[in-house]
């Protein structure tokens, strides 16, 4: 009533509300705006990029990174990070490959074995971080170095090949003419979207990431949540390992090493806050697709690899900057 007595007050309030909604919309979907812009720009530079086969290849290449990124996003949501995800993926896949090729282990048992091993490694991370209060950044980095050493020692630099055809179907197979790997990737994102938005587990993860002390006071078992989150990250590292080894048909000593920073970058570009408590599955999906579009598109355009790496770095820098601006903007509301 008081506002209605001041000329123009309601108009200014509506105008401010409209600006806030537009700003929220832009900051919340910046990754998709960037994705559309890059697709358009690369399409102008290299028109062949917009063909169905190339775009399909983009989604196929995004699948492994996407599965790994959603696992890493869980740790970012609680304000931590898992730098051992690629090492976990590699070692668990190597053990599965050795079981199948040297000990005639059935492929349908090897797949759950790979995932179980990856979950156990994730549990180790979770226990060390939650119970012993070890800094996740350093602990997971150290563990990743150990796991990479295990890969080199166990393989002696040689690739483990001869994986069963049925096992490779997950990475190379098609259903109705459509590659299976992107289907698995998209189904995972759909399920995780539901988990984050509509389940008790999802709400607890966001609560712990938003304010650990408040979450603890409200009755949430923070340490248990930490361990579960790192186990989930391990779970998706195992799935990513199955998909990648099935896609390549081999496990090498450098298996998946290049995916770690890309997975983290995709999560951050997609709006998962490094401080925890904020993130959307749609944003992570956009980040994964954006980095895949940049890499494949610039390669098709004939851009040198080191320039592509620079562009990816600039995108990550821009994402961190946007994240900082978003938090500052929200704190002012």
- More reliable by pLDDT, 15 or 222: 222
| Greater model confidence, 265 or 91 | 91
* 233-257 mean pLDDT: 96
DSSP structural state of residue 199: S
Q: Among residues 325, 252, 311, 266, which one has the least CA distance to residue 41?
A: 311
Position 2 scores a pLDDT of 46
Token pair listed for 142: 């150290």
In this structure, which topology does domain 29-332 adopt according to CATH?
ABC transporter involved in vitamin B12 uptake, BtuC (1.10.3470)
Confidence of residue 6 (pLDDT cuts 50, 70, 90): low
* Contacting residues for 44 by C-beta, under 8 A, at least 6 apart: none
Contact of 76 with 279, CB cutoff 8 Å:
yes
Ranges 3-17, 50-64, 167-181: which has the least confidence: 3-17
Q: What is the pLDDT of residue 324?
A: 76
- Output the six-digit token pair for 303: 């851009």
Mean pLDDT for the stretch of residues 90-116: 96
pLDDT band at 330 (very low <50, low <70, confident <90, very high): low
Tokens of 226: 């930490």
End-to-end CA separation in angstroms for the chain: 23
Give the per-residue pLDDT at 28. Answer: 67
Q: Which residues of 40-70 are buried (b: 16+ CB within 10 A; e: fewer)?
A: eebeeebeebeeeeeeeebbbbbbbbbbbbb
The single residue listed with the structure tokens 């979907």 is: 29
What residue ranges do the domains of the chain occupy?
Answer: 29-332
The tens digit of pLDDT for each residue in 196-232 reads 999 999 999 999 999 999 999 999 999 999 999 999 9
Contacts of 31-37 with CB under 8 Å at 24 or more apart are 31/269, 31/270, 31/271, 31/283, 31/286, 31/287, 31/290, 31/319, 32/282, 32/286, 34/269, 34/290, 34/315, 34/318, 35/286, 35/289, 35/290, 35/293
Within 29-173, where are the H helices?
Answer: 30-45, 52-77, 85-102, 107-130, 136-155, 165-172
Question: In percent, how much of the chain has pLDDT > 70?
Answer: 90
pLDDT band, very low/low/confident/very high, at 30 (cuts 50, 70, 90): confident
CA–CA distances in Å: residue 205 to residues 41, 54, 66, 273: 38, 37, 20, 13
Query: How are beta strands 174-175 and 178-179 bridged, if at all?
Result: antiparallel
Does residue 178 sit in helix, strand or coil? Answer: strand
Rounded Cα distance between 244 and 239, Å, is: 9
Confidence of residue 20 (pLDDT cuts 50, 70, 90): low
Q: Which residue has the higher pLDDT, 128 or 304?
A: 128
Q: pLDDT for 274-320, tens place per residue? A: 889 989 999 999 999 999 999 899 889 888 888 888 888 888 787 77
pTM: 0.90
User: Distance (Å, rounded) from C-alpha 95 to C-alpha 154?
Assistant: 10
């Amino acid at each position: 009533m008081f506002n209605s007595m001041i000329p123009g007050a309601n108009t200014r309030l509506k105008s401010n509300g409209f600006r806030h909604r537009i700003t929220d919309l832009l900051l919340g979907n910046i990754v998709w705006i960037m994705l559309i812009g890059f697709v358009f720009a690369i399409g102008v530079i290299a028109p062949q990029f917009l063909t169905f086969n190339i775009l399909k290849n983009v989604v196929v290449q995004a699948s492994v990174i996407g599965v790994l990124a959603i696992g890493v996003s869980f740790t970012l949501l609680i304000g931590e990070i898992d730098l051992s995800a690629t090492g976990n993926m590699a070692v668990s896949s190597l053990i599965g490959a050795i079981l199948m090729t040297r000990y005639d282990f059935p492929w349908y048992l090897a797949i759950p074995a790979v995932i179980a091993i990856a979950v156990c490694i994730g549990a180790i991370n979770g226990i060390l971080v939650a119970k012993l209060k070890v800094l996740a950044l350093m602990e997971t980095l150290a563990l990743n170095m150990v796991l990479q050493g295990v890969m080199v020692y166990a393989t002696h630099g040689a690739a483990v090949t001869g994986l069963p055809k049925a096992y490779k179907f997950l990475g190379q197979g098609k259903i109705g003419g459509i590659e299976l790997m992107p289907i698995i990737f998209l189904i995972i994102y759909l399920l995780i979207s539901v988990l984050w938005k509509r389940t008790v587990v999802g709400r607890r993860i966001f609560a712990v990431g938003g304010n650990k002390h408040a979450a603890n006071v409200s009755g949430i078992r923070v340490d248990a949540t930490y361990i579960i989150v790192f186990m989930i990250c391990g779970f998706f590292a195992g799935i990513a390992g199955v998909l990648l080894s099935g896609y390549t048909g081999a496990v090498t000593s450098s298996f998946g090493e290049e995916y770690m920073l890309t997975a983290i970058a995709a999560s951050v570009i997609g709006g998962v806050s490094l401080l925890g408590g904020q993130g959307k599955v749609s944003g992570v999906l956009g980040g994964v697709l954006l980095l895949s579009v940049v890499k494949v598109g610039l390669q098709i355009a004939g851009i040198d690899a080191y320039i592509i790496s620079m562009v990816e770095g600039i995108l990550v820098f821009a994402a961190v900057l946007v994240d900082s601006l978003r938090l500052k903007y929200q704190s002012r509301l």
